């Protein structure tokens, strides 16, 4: 079993963090591209079955049969059914952290750097099929077995933002209220976007940007006149 497979099988936040914080090792080779293609194909099939039959009613055996592989092959890529729905998030969250580091190093303000990084992060859904993205997000929010894992990744995203900000500010995480507030507020806007996005004609990135702009301007309209 490879390190990535072991991480998927563990399902723990600590294991997720160890994957998310490892930098990429350069352009993927042919075998890795084939592996990634097979992984994404199985994930797409699983999502269709989850949406059609329900998460609990869908078995690993039915996913494998529909995808044209064996259950053993399924477990080469995923540790469980839950892992199918989150297979790309560790890598994507790590990439978001590196983008944030770059924006901060380039002199962008802390708020703008975090907002821009999160809009790019959610924009990966816009690059694909929007219906697939919304189905996936619906399952994250509605399936009890997935909701807890989703909360783990939300916590990891907040931790990634706080760590980047404190590194830039040369502060300690446990002492920096502003870094904590920025992380909770911006990742909270991301969560709200995922929870409320129901329009196929609106890009997720635009939705999140509007939410962050509103947040940055202040949520209390009366405050502007004080």
Q: Is residue 185 part of a domain?
A: yes
State the pLDDT confidence band at 131, using cuts at 50, 70 and 90.
low
Q: Is residue 199 part of a domain?
A: yes
Domain of residue 106 covers 89-219
Q: Is residue 175 part of a domain?
A: yes
Mean pLDDT value across residues 143-150: 88
- Cα→Cα distances 207→21, 143, 155, 215, Å: 28, 24, 21, 12
Q: Is residue 197 part of a domain?
A: yes
State the pLDDT confidence band at 202, using cuts at 50, 70 and 90.
confident
Helix-helix angle 177-196:110-126, to 10 degrees: 30
Q: Is residue 79 part of a domain?
A: no
Provide the pLDDT for residue 36. 77
The count of structural domains within the chain is: 1
Task: Report the range of poorest mean pLDDT among 74-78, 85-89, 129-133, 148-152.
Answer: 129-133
Provide the pLDDT for residue 216. 92
Handedness of CA 14, 16, 18, 21 (dihedral sign): negative
Q: What is the pLDDT of residues 4-46, one digit of tens each?
A: 434 443 443 333 333 333 444 555 677 777 877 888 899 999 9
Helix-helix angle 13-20:89-105, to 10 degrees: 50
Predicted TM-score (pTM) of the model is 0.78
pLDDT at 63 over 80: yes
Q: Is residue 23 part of a domain?
A: no
Contact indicator for 84, 71 with CB cutoff of 8 Å = no
Q: Is residue 32 part of a domain?
A: no
Helix-helix angle 144-169:130-142, to 10 degrees: 100
Q: How far is the C-alpha of 144 from the C-alpha of 204, rounded, in Å?
A: 24
Q: Is residue 50 part of a domain?
A: no
CATH (domain of 151): 1.10.357.10
State the pLDDT confidence band at 87, using cuts at 50, 70 and 90.
confident
Q: How far is the C-alpha of 212 from the C-alpha of 209, rounded, in Å?
A: 5
pLDDT at 149 over 80: yes
3-state DSSP helix/strand/coil % of the chain, to nearest 5 = 75, 0, 25
Pick 24 or 172 by higher pLDDT.
172
Q: How far is the C-alpha of 192 from the C-alpha of 207, rounded, in Å?
A: 10
Pick 16 or 214 by higher pLDDT.
214
């Amino acid at each position: 079993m490879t390190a990535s497979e072991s991480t998927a099988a563990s399902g723990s936040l600590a294991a997720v963090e160890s994957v998310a914080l490892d930098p990429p090792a350069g352009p993927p080779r042919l075998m890795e591209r084939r592996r990634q293609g097979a992984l994404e194909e199985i994930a797409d099939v699983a999502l269709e079955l989850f949406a059609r039959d329900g998460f609990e009613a869908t078995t690993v055996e039915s996913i494998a049969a529909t995808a044209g592989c064996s259950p053993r092959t399924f477990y080469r890529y995923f540790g469980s059914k839950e892992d199918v729905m989150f297979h790309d998030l560790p890598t994507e969250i790590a990439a978001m952290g590196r983008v944030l580091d770059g924006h901060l190093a380039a002199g962008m303000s802390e708020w703008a750097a975090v907002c821009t990084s999160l809009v790019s992060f959610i924009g990966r859904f816009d690059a694909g099929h929007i219906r697939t993205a919304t189905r996936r997000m619906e399952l994250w929010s509605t399936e009890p077995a997935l909701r807890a894992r989703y909360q783990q990744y939300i916590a990891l995203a907040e931790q990634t933002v706080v760590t980047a900000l404190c590194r830039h500010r040369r502060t300690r995480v446990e002492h920096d209220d502003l870094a904590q507030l920025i992380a909770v507020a911006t990742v909270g806007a991301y969560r709200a976007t995922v929870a409320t996005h129901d329009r196929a004609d609106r890009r997720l990135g635009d939705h999140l940007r509007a939410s962050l702009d509103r947040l940055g301007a202040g949520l209390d309209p009366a405050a502007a006149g004080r």
